[in-house]
Structures are given as C-alpha cells and as structure tokens.
A and B are shown apart, each in its own frame.
Chain A
Amino acid sequence: MAESQAAAAPAAPGEKETNHGLRIALIWVVLALVADLLIWFLWYPHLPPGRMSESAEHQQFDIAVLALAAAPVMIFVWTYFGYTLVNWRHRDGDDDDGPPLFGHTGIQATWIGGTAVIVLAAFVFGTVELIVPAGAGAGEGPNPVWKPSGSNLLQVQVIGQQWQFTYRYPQFGGMETTQLVLPVNRPVAFHVTSLDVIHSFWAYQLAVKADANPGVDNVAYTTPKHTGGFTVRCSELCGIWHGAMFDYGRVITPAAFQVWAKTNEQIQRQKGVLAALPPYALTYDPTVIPQMGKVLIANGITGAGGYYYPSSDPVTP
C-alpha cells in the first residue's frame, strides 16, 4: 500500500506549483502510522473476543491484523477526500469547468494492482489463520478438515432446542447437563446438533460458533487457555425466545473438572437420568424418540407443516 500510493501520487498529471500528491501522501503516512501504532499497542490487547481460548487468541490476532491493514486504506481515502474538499472547492465568480481528465493509465493500474495485492495478502493470511488453529473455532460440519493435534480430545455434544442448549459428555457415560463446564488446556471437540430448528452455538469468550442443524453433527474445536466464566448465546434466529436462549459456562482446572464430571455422572446414574436419556448419538430425531414417536404415530402425522411442534407459544422460556 505504502509504495503504491507513493508511486501513484507524483505521477498525477498537471503538477506545477504545489505538489498536492506529495502533501496528501505525507499527511496520510503520518496519520496511518499513528493509527496503526495505536491499534497495535493500545487496542489489540483489548480487542474482542479476548484470549480465553486458543481460537480466541487467534481471532483476536486476526482481527488486529485486519485492522492494521484496513486503517491505512480508510485513512488514505478520507485524507484524500478531506484534502480535495478543502483545496478544490468552487470559488465564487469562477464559472469555468475543471481540467478535463478522463483517466490516467498509470494511476489506474497502480490502484488495481495495489488493491489486488492487499486482497490476496488478506486471503493468504485468513487461510493460514483458518487452518492453523483447527478451523478457527467455526463449525466444520460432520467431516472436519482441520483438526487439533493430540489424542486427548474432550468430546462435548451441544444440543440446541427451542429454547435452550444442553450438553452431553459421551466420555462420562453420556451424561447431560444444562451448564457447559470445560477443563483448561485440553482440546475440546464440540459436536453441535439440534432437535428442531436451526440454532447457533456461540461461546463468546471461547470464540466458538457453530450452527446447530437438526440431523447434522457440526464439529468445532478449541482449547480453553484460562479458567473463568463465559457466555453461551444462540446466534441464529430460532423463534420467539431466541433472545432468551443463553446460559453461562465455566472453564475450571482439570482436576476440578474430573471431580465435577464424575460426580455428575454418578448422580445421573443413581437417579436413573442416564437410563431415561436416549442413547448417545451424533444426531437425534425427535420423531424416533420412542415416547414422542408413539404420540406422532397415534395422531397419524406423517408430513411436515408444523405438526411436530406445539401450535401455541409457550408462556415461559
């Protein structure tokens, strides 16, 4: 960008007294430099989504780098517009037209080349940032392409339904909880699915987002790096209580996690919860859950058209 503008500006036609191009370039370099320094040293450490997980760290870095590239571009356009607005306004009594410039091959080629270089660089950088942190925390579908290394993956199934998320831990007997608890420094594979409509699992501070489609196992990876609380929100419109579909999760130490998970599994086994749950699977079909299927068959419902769902709005979430 820097070279392209520096090269483009002096090449502007009709330069005699004032070198406007040089002036614009100087103002731009100073402003862009200040902006980039501020972004990198002041803003970057505080940029969302923070540094709570590996994917969050990468996303924060990614957003900061994009901002570093974007700021000079925006500042160049604004500087240029501001400069022209100040200097080349219509003066009273001057009714002549401006100079008839129809184009300038050099400037046009430089601009096209410069923007192409920026765009391609952004593409290469984005691809690296997508692949290195195992899909960047985005849902990769049933057959993930980019996976984390190591065999110590914690499997967590996220089940979306109107209007809450529940979490199943297949490595702990398939127990199901309403609160997401994760150990620190252990890679997690989220298997996101839905029972009814499309939801989107968004663990904000962990920088994980994956759509929950009914009948689809959508896998996303991350590794929590710090202990603490995080927010889970649904980020795909899923019906009237979409706005109320959120809960809070925790990242705790591995030892505490083992205790929490084992205890929960124990309690659920004793109370018969595990036996009542459908067997762990990657997706669930409410029409084949035995109790529900019977109801549907008894009513003779075979088609779509909203008949799986209650026809009235629930009163509370």
Chain B
Amino acid sequence: MSIEIEPGTTAQEPAGSGPVGPRLARPWWMRPALHTGIIGAVIGYFIGHWLGNFLSWNYGRNGLSDMNDFPLVLGYVIAVVGFLAGMGVFNDLGRQVLGKPVPVAEEEEEAFGGVARYFRYSLDHKVVGIQYLVGMIIYFCTAGLFAMAIRTELLSPTYHIMSASSYLMVVSEHGTMMMMLMTSVVLGPFGNFLMPLMIGSKRMAFPRLEALAFWLTPAAFLVLLSSVLVGGFPTGWTGYAPLSVQATQGMDAYAVAFGLMGISVILAGFNIIVTVINYRAPGMRWSRLPMFVWSMVTVSFLMVLATPVLVGGLYLLILDRTVETSNYVNQLGGSSYLYENLFWFFGHPEVYILALPGFGIVSEIIPVFCRKPLFGYRVAGAGMIGVALLSFFVWQHHLFVSGINPEMRPLFMLTTELISIPTGFIYLVAMGTFWKAKMRLTVPMLFALGLYFNFLIGGISGVFLSDVPADTTEHGSFFVMAHFHYTIMGGIIFAFMGACYYWLPKMVGIKLNQKLGYLHFWTMFIFFNSTFLPLFAVGMLGQPRRVFEYARNLQGLNDWVSISSFLLGGSILIFVINVIWSTVIVREREVGNPWNSRGLEWQVASPPPPGNFEHIPVVLSGPYDYGVKDAPAVADLNPPVGVVSAAYASAGTASTGVEA
C-alpha cells in the first residue's frame, strides 16, 4: 500500500502551525544550542540534587560519600531535563501551547546554516544524521579505549596494572557504552540521514522526536561516563541484581544512562516506523523498498517493542536503590530472576538490533559492486522479519544454567537454533548475488565481504551456545565474549565502516581517501580476527568473562589477543584519521553518483539539497535492477504536474505491494 496523500500538501504540515513569520535574528550566544544546554544541565543537577536530599532527608546514607542514591538519581534526571530545556527542546512545545507560530523543518534548515547548526536542536534529518555519525564515532572510540585498557590489564595473569575495582569499572564502562550507545550506530546516522532519501521523502515524520532522540545520546553518554567519578559500577553491561542493588553510587549512572538511551531508541524507532509507512513517494511500493529500509523497519519494531521492558526493569532497579523497595532481593520477597528475565527479554532483541542493520547495509552494497540484482529480494526481507520475530522467543538461553525452568530448555534451544534459518537467508542472498557477478573490490565491498566472513563464525559459534550441553561449558566464559564480538563488532561495526566509505560521499559530498580505506580494511580485518578468534579457545580452556586473574597457562593466548587488540585500535585510528583528513583537510569534492548506484538516494546531488527533492519523485522501478535490459530509471525526479496526484489516485487500489 503506497501512501494516499501527497506529502508536502497536508501530510508534512504539522498540526496547529499558523503562518510563519521571519524569525528574529539573535546573536549566536542567545540562541539555544549546546552551551545553553550545558548551563541548563548544571542548573538542573543542582536542583535535582537538592530536591533529592530534601525528599530523602531521613533515609540512610552511604558512609563513604555521606550521600544516598536519591539525590544522585534526581540530579541526573533533572540535569537531563535541564539540558534538553537549554537546548530548546521544549521551545516549540511552549510556542504551540501559547498559540504562537511554530517553524517547520525545512524553513528551520534554511534559516541556520554553517557548522553552528550541528550544535543545535536541529529539525533537519540530514543535520541529525551527521550529529549522530560524529557522536557514534566518539562513543565508539571512547568505549574502544576502555577495551584496550581491559586488554592491557589482561597482559599478565598475576601482575596488575589496575586495582580489582578499577578493572571492573573499565569492563563495565566498555560493555555498557558499546551495547547501549551502539544501538543507534547505524539507525542514527544512516537511518536518519538516508532513509527519507531512499523512500523519496523530504523529511522524517517527527523531526522533533528525531532531534530529541539524538540529544539524549550525549546525555546518556556523559551520565554513564560520570559514574567513573564515583568509582564506577561493578556489574558489567547486564547489571544483574542483587549485585546492582548492592553496588555503590556508580550504579545509578548505569540505570539512568541506559534508561535515557532506551527512551532515545524507542523514539527513534517510532519515528522510523511512521516515516516508512506514511512518507514513501508514489510508486515506492513495499516490494521496491531498499533492503536497508527493510532492516530499519524491522529494527525499529524491535526497539519499540523490546526496549520498554528494559526501561521498566531499570526503573524497578532505581526504586530498589533509592526508596528501598526489594523487587530484586530474594530474601525480601523479590526475585533475582525477575531482573534476569526483564533484562534478557530486552537484551536478546537488542543483539539483533545490533545485527539487522548490518545485514541491511551489506544487502545495499553488494548489488552495486556485483552489478547484479539482489538475489531473492523477498527471501532477504523474510530473513530480517524472521530474525526479528524469533528474537522475542529466545531470551532464556541466557539463563540455561541459572536454575530457572529446566523443562523449558529444549524449547529455548529450538527457538534459538531456528534463528539460524532466517539468518541463513542472508547468506543465500549474498551467494546468489555473487553468482556470475562482476565484482568490484572497492572498500565498501570489502567491508561487506568482511561482515559475511565474520558473521559466519559468530553465527556458527552461536549454535554451539544454543545447545545446552555445549553451553554448560561455554556459558559465561570468553567463548561467549568472542561469539558476540564476532556478531556485533565483526557484523555491525564492519557494516558501519563499509557504510561510511559508501555513503559519506553522499552525505557530505566529499571523497574519502581510498588508499587509507584499503589500509584500514585490511588491518581491521586481520587484527579483528587475530584478536577474537583465540578468545574462543581461551573460553573453552576455562577462562570466565570479566576476570582480572586467569590461569597461567593461558597467558600466551591472552598476550597474543592483547597485542592484536592494540593493533586493532590502531586500525580504528586510521579510520578516524581518514575521516578527518579527507573531510576537513583535503576536501576533495565528490559529485553525483561515484558508485553508479541505482539507489534513489544517489539520484539527487551530493550533499543532498535542502528538502532533498525539488519535487516529490515518482518511483518507477526497483532499486536493484542492474543488468536488466531497458530497465526504467529508478525514479522520475521531475514528474509533470498532476502526475503525482494521479499516481496516488490510482495507487490507492492498484498497488498492494505484491507486484514484483
């Protein structure tokens, strides 16, 4: 079903807006931006802290810090509200309440150009995309530095560089930062920037939610990082209770930050779902939707359905820690299993949130560089939907040795193994596309091939983990750690890198240095495998996760892994240098369509003009019709007047999306 209403006439007009007058030009420091946000955050923290102390004056206090958790949590929460208020998030809401005119996205975009807009609450999806991209690279590198600190400590089984508690702090910061912030690593930059272009829309459905979703990520990042100031938290990214109830105040940062990020991804997911359903250009049937958009839709459904469970679980945890409830304390009528179930009910879809966008990206990249249509378009879509659906029915495989529900183990073993069928579809699609292809081994293509190589190891090791007898040895060991780094880092981070090389020319109109790109790929591919492949052996030989002391006979393997991980860090540094060197210093212009792609996003100028399309395009054929004789252009960018409305009129009944 295509959309019935022509976007731009009614659908993209926000409700309640009157005629827009010229906005007063104020000096930059008077306009809401990052600096006012920071001021708001500081004021908010002190208000929250005072309020917390006021409300909890008769509660017990921690002897070390002369504080309890209540003022800290309220400080964090109100600091975030203050930050958002300072950023101007609530300004339009206020205007609307007062009946004043509210600017719409496109005008906003033209009103403020330059670098300054990237530090503002911008309603332009392309600005938000770039904000996300820079933010995600910063978060990824920060968490990556924590990872290298872990590997430094593990150079020796007995000689310690960090204290036991600093080590645990570093492990927890690394894990949590990667798992919670990387949730948006693809959906944030590429989903927000490219998806409207791919479906022929001028904008996202909810530009304010989109911008809010982004500005919650630096808040979550800084709140999480702030836990270092009070000694960190000892639970890893899983935050299992009752350890998280017992932990000192660093734990509050975990709960608040993860909750903020949860809200951010729920908002982002809603926005994407609504945009794809309602903002597709005429002719953009479901059967013509690029695979990347399919992956964004499925991921968004996972985000919207799974993340609220996490936010609820963390809320109960905060209650346990602040107002002394006992939701997760077994001795007082709570249940430690309750947290495990809530967490993994979110946590397992979460790892597919981290896998599916990677599949979407490689499905987008390989047809272009094979010069062939995507093999089995519907199989690829079915694979993504199948993975997304099944991911809700597997969470107890994380609890195979926990002692809960032994009779359910065969069932969860079955559902977990069933996931490998739709995942196999993704491989079938790749293999079919490679058949008699004319493969061009460009940097993005190499990263796509890297994903297929890595994810195969990750996926097959997952079958070992899904099998209860094998899992009994592997559970909680470095084997698990190697497995999910293969699926997440070897999957989505490789896809993310490939997407950067593939789409950055589109997004900023600047070429990335290809030589550095090849160097980056080969070093990352080799050192990634050299880092994580030995960890399967380390785990099987009996090293549990998150330990700072291990058996002496495993030192050789651990040292190999540590040195590889430093080199892997060097490889990521090449990427960062390449991005900065190419986009800031050299700035070689990229015009048009360097990869000769049929994607709709490549049919407009690079970088895309304000408003994306001069006219709403009419999509004429699928995005992967490479090698098809007399294939029509992918879209008519200047449809004659009246065609668009005629298309909508006929599309209402004729096209139900089943046409190939």
Q: Which residues of A contact B (CB under 8 A)?
A: 12, 14, 20, 47-49, 55, 58-59, 62-63, 66, 70, 73-74, 77-78, 80-81, 84-85, 88-91, 94, 96-104, 107-108, 111-112, 115-116, 119, 122-123, 126-127, 129-130, 133, 135-146, 192, 196-198, 200, 202, 204, 207-211, 213-216, 218-220, 231, 233-244, 285-287, 301, 303-309, 311-313
Residues of A within 8 A of B556 (CB): none
Given contacts A88-B439, A141-B403, A240-B168, 5 further A-B contacts (CB under 8 A): A66-B467, A104-B375, A138-B469, A209-B472, A218-B402
Give Cα A85–Cα B453 distance, bound, in whole angstroms.
13
Residues of A within 8 A of B328 (CB): 304
Contact assessment for A207 and B473 in the assembled complex, using a CB-CB cutoff below 8 Å: yes
CB nearest to A302 among chain B residues: B324
Residues of B within 8 A of A62 (CB): 467, 469-470
Contact assessment for A102 and B549 in the assembled complex, using a CB-CB cutoff below 8 Å: no
Most chain B Cβ neighbours within 10 Å, of A59, A146, A231, A236: A236
Q: A103-B379, A107-B432, A216-B403 are in contact. Are A242 and B168 (CB under 8 A)?
A: yes
Contact assessment for B421 and A101 in the assembled complex, using a CB-CB cutoff below 8 Å: no
| Cβ-neighbour of B320 out of A130, A210, A305 (below 8 A) | A305
Give Cα A98–Cα B432 distance, bound, in whole angstroms.
12
CB distance from A311 to the nearest CB of B (A): 5
Give Cα A166–Cα B403 distance, bound, in whole angstroms.
19
Contact assessment for B403 and A213 in the assembled complex, using a CB-CB cutoff below 8 Å: yes
CB distance from B541 to the nearest CB of A (A): 6
| Cβ-neighbour of A244 out of B164, B469, B541 (below 8 A) | B164
Contact assessment for A209 and B542 in the assembled complex, using a CB-CB cutoff below 8 Å: no
Contact assessment for A306 and B245 in the assembled complex, using a CB-CB cutoff below 8 Å: yes
Contact assessment for A48 and B542 in the assembled complex, using a CB-CB cutoff below 8 Å: yes
Contact assessment for A204 and B542 in the assembled complex, using a CB-CB cutoff below 8 Å: yes
Residues of A within 8 A of B470 (CB): 59, 62-63, 66, 126
Nearest first, the 5 closest Cβ-Cβ pairs linking A and B are A303-B324, A97-B627, A218-B403, A243-B547, A215-B330
Give Cα A204–Cα B469 distance, bound, in whole angstroms.
13
| Cβ-neighbour of A198 out of B242, B439, B441, B541 (below 8 A) | B242
Taking CB atoms and an 8 Å cut-off, the chain B residues in 436-477 that contact chain A are 436-441, 449, 452-453, 456-457, 460, 463-464, 466-473, 475-477
CB distance from A128 to the nearest CB of B (A): 9
Residues of B within 8 A of A20 (CB): 435-436
CB nearest to A303 among chain B residues: B324
CB nearest to B433 among chain A residues: A101
CB distance from A227 to the nearest CB of B (A): 19
Contact assessment for A101 and B432 in the assembled complex, using a CB-CB cutoff below 8 Å: yes
* A-B contacts, 18 listed (Cβ < 8 Å): A47-B540, A48-B540, A77-B427, A81-B452, A97-B626, A103-B432, A108-B376, A200-B401, A209-B475, A211-B401, A211-B403, A213-B330, A219-B403, A243-B546, A304-B325, A305-B69, A308-B246, A312-B64
Residues of A within 8 A of B374 (CB): 102
Contact assessment for B402 and A84 in the assembled complex, using a CB-CB cutoff below 8 Å: no
| Cβ-neighbour of A209 out of B325, B401, B432 (below 8 A) | B401
| Interface check B503, CB cutoff 8 A | no
As a 0/1 sequence over residues 566 to 598 of chain B, the CB contacts with chain A under 8 angstroms (1 = contact) are 000000000000000000000000000000000
CB nearest to A306 among chain B residues: B246
Q: A103-B432, A285-B331 are in contact. Are A96 and B627 (CB under 8 A)?
A: yes
Segment among B232-240, B274-282, B489-497 that sits at the interface with chain A: B232-240
Contact assessment for A138 and B471 in the assembled complex, using a CB-CB cutoff below 8 Å: yes
Residues of B within 8 A of A287 (CB): 331
Contact assessment for B476 and A100 in the assembled complex, using a CB-CB cutoff below 8 Å: no
Contact assessment for A213 and B402 in the assembled complex, using a CB-CB cutoff below 8 Å: yes
Contact assessment for A234 and B627 in the assembled complex, using a CB-CB cutoff below 8 Å: no
Q: A123-B410, A236-B240 are in contact. Are A243 and B321 (CB under 8 A)?
A: no
| Cβ-neighbour of B164 out of A58, A231, A240 (below 8 A) | A240
| Interface check B17, CB cutoff 8 A | no
Contact assessment for B472 and A98 in the assembled complex, using a CB-CB cutoff below 8 Å: no
Give Cα A140–Cα B60 distance, bound, in whole angstroms.
38
| Cβ-neighbour of B403 out of A102, A139, A304, A309 (below 8 A) | A139
| Cβ-neighbour of A236 out of B420, B427, B476 (below 8 A) | B476
Contact assessment for B469 and A129 in the assembled complex, using a CB-CB cutoff below 8 Å: yes
Contact assessment for B243 and A63 in the assembled complex, using a CB-CB cutoff below 8 Å: no
| Interface check B178, CB cutoff 8 A | no
Contact assessment for B375 and A101 in the assembled complex, using a CB-CB cutoff below 8 Å: yes
Q: A59-B470, A97-B627 are in contact. Are A210 and B544 (CB under 8 A)?
A: no
Give Cα A240–Cα B250 distance, bound, in whole angstroms.
13
As a 0/1 sequence over residues 529 to 567 of chain B, the CB contacts with chain A under 8 angstroms (1 = contact) are 000000000001110111111110000000000000000
Give Cα A234–Cα B476 distance, bound, in whole angstroms.
9
Residues of A within 8 A of B540 (CB): 47-49
Residues of B within 8 A of A74 (CB): 456-457, 460
CB distance from A22 to the nearest CB of B (A): 14
Q: A98-B372, A204-B542 are in contact. Are A59 and B438 (CB under 8 A)?
A: no
CB distance from B236 to the nearest CB of A (A): 5
CB nearest to B166 among chain A residues: A240
Contact assessment for A235 and B477 in the assembled complex, using a CB-CB cutoff below 8 Å: yes
CB nearest to B332 among chain A residues: A304
Taking CB atoms and an 8 Å cut-off, the chain B residues in 240-283 that contact chain A are 240, 242-243, 245-248
Most chain B Cβ neighbours within 10 Å, of A127, A208, A231: A127
CB distance from A44 to the nearest CB of B (A): 13
Q: A77-B456, A98-B626, A123-B414 are in contact. Are A145 and B406 (CB under 8 A)?
A: yes
Give Cα A101–Cα B93 distance, bound, in whole angstroms.
51
Q: A100-B628, A213-B336, A286-B331 are in contact. Are A237 and B545 (CB under 8 A)?
A: yes
Contact assessment for A197 and B457 in the assembled complex, using a CB-CB cutoff below 8 Å: no
| Interface check B377, CB cutoff 8 A | yes
Give Cα A96–Cα B626 distance, bound, in whole angstroms.
9
Contact assessment for B234 and A237 in the assembled complex, using a CB-CB cutoff below 8 Å: yes
| Interface check B417, CB cutoff 8 A | yes
Residues of B within 8 A of A238 (CB): 243
Give Cα A100–Cα B627 distance, bound, in whole angstroms.
5
| Cβ-neighbour of B245 out of A122, A142, A209, A305 (below 8 A) | A305
Residues of B within 8 A of A70 (CB): 460, 463-464
Give Cα A70–Cα B467 distance, bound, in whole angstroms.
13
Taking CB atoms and an 8 Å cut-off, the chain B residues in 317-331 that contact chain A are 320-322, 324-326, 328-331
Residues of B within 8 A of A200 (CB): 401, 475-476, 544
Taking CB atoms and an 8 Å cut-off, the chain B residues in 155-209 that contact chain A are 164-165, 167-168
As a 0/1 sequence over residues 621 to 633 of chain B, the CB contacts with chain A under 8 angstroms (1 = contact) are 0000111100000
CB distance from B164 to the nearest CB of A (A): 4
